[in-house]
Every structure is written in C-alpha cells, then in structure tokens.
Structure 1
Amino acid sequence: QAMCKILYKNFLNIIAKHCDFFNMSFFFPFLDKYCDEGYTLFEDSCYLFESDFYKSWHEAKQYCISHGGNLASVHNQQTVGFLAGMVWSTSDVWTGLNDLEISNYFTWSSSDIVRFTYWDSGEPNNHNGFNEDCVEMLQQVWVAAMLNYICNTFLCFPKLLFFFIWLL
C-alpha cells in the first residue's frame, strides 16, 4: 500500500505531490483529511483561531498570509455556527469580508465569491458616518467595523487542505 499526498484547493483545482498518476493504476479506498497543528478542521477547511493578539484588520490579514492562508471566508450557516462555537468566549472576531475596493460591495480577502452573508439588523451601515470597510463577527452575526479598530481575535484558514489518499 502506497501513500499519495494531495494538496487540495477546491474541487476544480487539485495539486498532487509524491504521486505518479501516469505510471500507477489505483483506486481510492478511503480519503483522510487533516489540518496542520493548531488548526481545526470543519467541512473542507482548516481554521486557525488566534486570540493572543490585538490586531487591526490589515494586521490580522497579514498574520494569516504569513502563515500560508488568509482571514476566514464564511460560506454557509453551518460554518457560522461552527465558528461561533470556536469563538464563544470573545466579543469580536475579524473575518475576511470587506468593501475596501468598492464601497458597499463586499468581497472576501481570499478572493472567494460572496454567496452568503449573515449581517446583523441594520448592517452594514457606516455607523455615524465612519467608513466601516471590514467585517467582524459578534457571536453569530456580522457587523461592519473600521479598519483601524482593534479586535482581540481573528480567524485564519489556509489556502490548501491536506488529504492523504491511500493507494493500493
């Protein structure tokens, strides 16, 4: 039995390492997913919960990039619930959602398409005329906040999730 390490980005883009696909006939009896140490696996993503730092949105984004990922993108209600469970003990958490390029047009810092939002009532609102360009999660809802606002927590997720495919 041989092991083939797959680096996974999405269903349309698979990068393989240590595999000879052209000279090996194989089938997939099972597939193991795992995350690097310190990350938590949920669905097809690994999340890093950082609560030991106080960072602005840009500082948090740079931290995540320096660790091979980006600020977390959230694509469904199940992920909101999972992340809220991870961060239940904190009041505010940076996500990757922002409208830095075009005001009121929100995008994920990871370039993922925004197909799901979970705004609190009245959000986004540029409260009191402040230009609130970045989104924080407060328990299970999203609130727009200023770039230089300091959150004590943020969520990173890597670009690649590691799979091991066991080949026979």
Structure 2
Amino acid sequence: MIAWKYKGRIKGGCRVAEEQKKKKGSWLVPIIAAVAVAFIVRSFIAAPYVVEGASMEPSLYDNDRILVNKTTSWMGEFDRGDVVIIEGENNRHYVKRIIGLPGETVEMQEGELYIDGEQIEEPYVNELADYAEQIEETSVEEEEYYVMGDNRGNSLDSRNGLGHIPEEYIVGRSMVVFFPFGNMQITN
C-alpha cells in the first residue's frame, strides 16, 4: 500500500509538471496570433498616421493622429475631396486632398478651382479671398490624381513639387482624427 501511494505521488507529480508545461506553452499561440493579426490589419486594412505641418489646415492640424483606411488603395475607390496619404520618396508620407480625378482637367483662376471648365466649391479651404494663385489648365492622366493641401499658401502638392500622383502611391484614405480628443472628427 505504501508503494502504491508512492507511485501515485510520482505519477501525480509528472501530471503537474506536464500541466505546467502546457500552461507555459499555451500563451505562445495566442501571442503569435495577436501579432500576426495586428500586422495584417496595419499592413492591409487600417493604420494610424501623424499629420506633420500645416498644409492641411484648417481641416487637419500639426500632430493630429488620423486613422487611414488602406483597403481603398487596392480597391481603387477615390473621389474628389478625399483626404489621402501619399507615399513619396525616401518612405516619406504626405497628407493631401484629391482635387482632380483621372481624365479631368484642372485649372485655377484667381484662387477659384475649375475642373473640366466648371467651377468647384471648396468649403474645406479657408481664406480663399486672400488666395489668388493661377494654375494653367493641366490634364490628369489615367490612373493619376491631382492633389492639394487645404492650406493653399503653405502646401507642397501637385502644383509645386509632388506632381500628379500615380494611384499606386496612394496608401489609403483618411477616415477619422482620433487624437487629440478635442480635434476628433470624421475626415471625409
């Protein structure tokens, strides 16, 4: 009878060790799965970005954190007025607004925007009365976009350095400002 208890203790001790081993390993699979899901979501579905500079004021401000929908970059669903993230040289990203769509002509006269000869209202741009830039009529090629910042006097965009943006350089469309909390808003 003593031997039987002794065997039970050893056997029970092995079970305890096996259960402890299973418990330690049981955390590994969920952690790997969580990291994989986070990587997939951030790479292909949605990702946060930080706005740098004043080129999108008054819509977006320096250090605003925005959430970007990346599914639009592979589904090709962009409209005039969408705020998008563009990947530039040296992995630098720009936040701009789509103004001209593929196949359209863009022109600006005394600060007023014309698409295919028709004047376009731009409620997201402040101080247009002080803005009198001229842009010669330019055609937007297929699979390219014409982009501008909302702060027209202080923006690097299609007018002055970025040129027409090929569709494959658009990372995604901004959905919402999520921080700082006082600036929370839907961006499109």
How does the TM-score come out when normalised to structure 1?
A: 0.32
Q: Which structure features the higher share of strand residues? A: 1
Higher helix share: 2
Between 1 and 2, higher relative CO (CA 8 Å, sep ≥ 6) is seen in 1
Q: Between Structure 1 and Structure 2, whose CA radius of gyration is higher? A: 2
